[in-house]
Structure 1
Amino acid sequence: MSREKYLIAIDLDGTLLTDDKKITPKTRDYLNKLHNNGHLIVIATGRPYRAALGFQQQLGVEGPLVTYNGSLTSHPYDPYFPTRTRKFDRFALHDLVNKIGFDALDNLMIETEHVIYLLREDEALNTFFWNDEERIIYGNPFLHLDEDPLALIFLFKNTDPAYKAEITKLVDSFPSLHIRFWHLEGYAELWIGESTKKDGLEYIANYYHFPQKRVIAFGDASNDKEMLAWAHYGVWMKNGVPSVEAYANMKTTEDNNNDGIVGVLQKLIK
């Protein structure tokens, strides 16, 4: 095993996880072996902390987590690790949502460090984000929102490209706010400057004194672009979004259902 230790950042959906949201035994065992040999395994995801922690525990590794697409970088096992947060201005969000109009939304999810706000009940969102029913408040979130949130997700009724362009222009009119549309029809998420996975990963690299040349990152989707471009080894998944490949300098030969990340790591870490 290599004497040089690497910081290895891995996205969840479409990367570490198979299409049925599982970690294969081969991938789990290999990453656990790397962890035990001193490499730092970091999950970097758009999902919330609680979901990332669950998958980290399945891997049997201990390390920092980059969650909410970089809005929260934390370490569940190290109380001395300085948590990094980047939050939205709740008053700006209120203004933005009012300009969009609630009638344009099938749903809206806003999450703070303590509460999940959902405009309407949504089993799919609750399952994907591992939402705890005891922490959810349904209805207009701005009637109760009393702290700046970490994440905001829209489910738009209109999925026409021209409408998406109109929404993008509106969001861009707010300083530091940006919107990213998912491949899932209608879904979109907000993000702010310095709250990408790359920012969280760079923060971890600096804290643990990993030079950029020993950073490996795996991803498949548009929220991975900055991270893939920054890492010395930016690895695009074979099953990934085609437009994201340009931000990487390597790609897997196998997809997420066939241990794609393992083959690349075996070549890089010897």
Structure 2
Amino acid sequence: MAIKLIAVDLDGTLLTTTKQILPETERVLKQADSQGIKVVLATGRPLSGTIEFNKQLGLQGKRQYDIVFNGAVIQDLAGNILMNEEMNYRDFTNMRKLQRLAQVNLHFETPECYWTCDRDIGVNLARNATFTNNVLKVRKAEEITQDFAFNKVGLSVLDDEREVDKLWNNIPQWAFAKYDIVRSFSSIVEINIKDASKGNAVLQLAERLKIKPSQVMVFGDQGNDVSMFTNPDFMKIAMGNAIEEIKDYADYVTEDNDHDGIAKAIKKFVL
């Protein structure tokens, strides 16, 4: 059955190691879009961190969409929110409990900005805010009000990456039962409300657009992409640089993100 929606992870998939879209990958995605195939970025970033890449691909307006915050939010490219899965103040206190398991930065992501209660900011958190064109607001915990709501949490390297290993190995079972927790890279653990995932968001968006799951192609490389790869109906393409779990679920393993892996797979199976 013909592919009608292509969902593409950003970092490590669409973007090279230098955070660029290769010319051939750009050309092929534009060709897919011109043929009426929906090209959707599915990322852990907020919309502010995807806009420049959407513009490069010629994607804009209310009829184009991004899946952001690892699937907690679906927005059109005019900024309107179609789906919004949030956590609340009780979750805020739970996240602070998890932070005590290791020496890591903790930040909270909303469509407007990032929030943290940490006075010491590691390079990883500062860089994350910069890459996503986001304001990072530092506040004392007592300044966070009871109506605080957020879409995603990041627990990231402060000084030593081994602390993220320590955190990951000591997250209690109650947390895994209550939240969707992934290790998206070696330097960061990302947390969403339960069932908020890229896979579920891609499925919801496809249903909204009256596209069958078998008409969806997904690309990914890291732990926060696994939910897209566990859907048996999607056509699943792993990047050559993907973790083994992604490759195990994939229907096809393409070239890595520095060698036009997306373009090669789309030309092979779609165009």
TM-score between both structures, scaled by the size of structure 2:
0.85
Q: 1:234 aligns with which of 224, 233, 236?
A: 236
1:127 pairs with 2:127 = yes
CA shift, 1:6, in A, is: 1.4
The CA distance in 2 between the partners of 1:99 and 1:212, in whole Å, is: 36
| Aligned residue pairs, count | 260
CA contact (8 A) 1:70 1:197 kept: yes
Identity %: 23
CA shift, 1:38, in A, is: 0.8
- 1:181-216 per-residue CA deviation (whole Å, 9 max, x = no partner) reads 24333x211122221001111111001111111110
What aligned pairs does 1:133-212 form with structure 2 within 5 A after superposition?
135-141=135-141, 143-145=143-145, 146-155=147-156, 159=163, 161=165, 163-169=167-173, 171-172=175-176, 176-185=178-187, 187-212=188-213
Structure 1 equivalent of residue 109 of structure 2: 111
CA shift, 1:149, in A, is: 0.4
Structure 2 equivalent of residue 35 of structure 1: 33
SS in 1 for 2:31: helix
1:69 pairs with 2:70 = yes
CA shift, 1:98, in A, is: 3.4
Runs of 4+ residues over 6 Å off in structure 1:
none
Q: Return 233-242 or 49-58, whichever deviates more.
A: 49-58
SS in 2 for 1:258: coil
What aligned pairs does 1:238-253 form with structure 2 within 5 A after superposition?
238-252=240-254
The CA distance in 1 between the partners of 2:166 and 2:124, in whole Å, is: 26
| Structure 1 residues 66 and 142, CA gap change in structure 2 (3 angstroms) | farther
The CA distance in 1 between the partners of 2:206 and 2:173, in whole Å, is: 34
The CA distance in 1 between the partners of 2:18 and 2:234, in whole Å, is: 30
RMSD: 2.5
Unaligned runs of 5+ in 1: none
CA shift, 1:99, in A, is: 5.8
CA shift, 1:245, in A, is: 1.2
CA contact (8 A) 1:86 1:194 kept: no
- 1:139-164 per-residue CA deviation (whole Å, 9 max, x = no partner) reads 43552254210111112665375653
Unaligned runs of 5+ in 2: none
- 1:104-150 per-residue CA deviation (whole Å, 9 max, x = no partner) reads 333111122333213243444333343556x3321435522542101
1:86 pairs with 2:85 = yes
| Structure 1 residues 139 and 106, CA gap change in structure 2 (3 angstroms) | farther
Q: Return 256-265 or 51-60, whichever deviates more.
A: 51-60
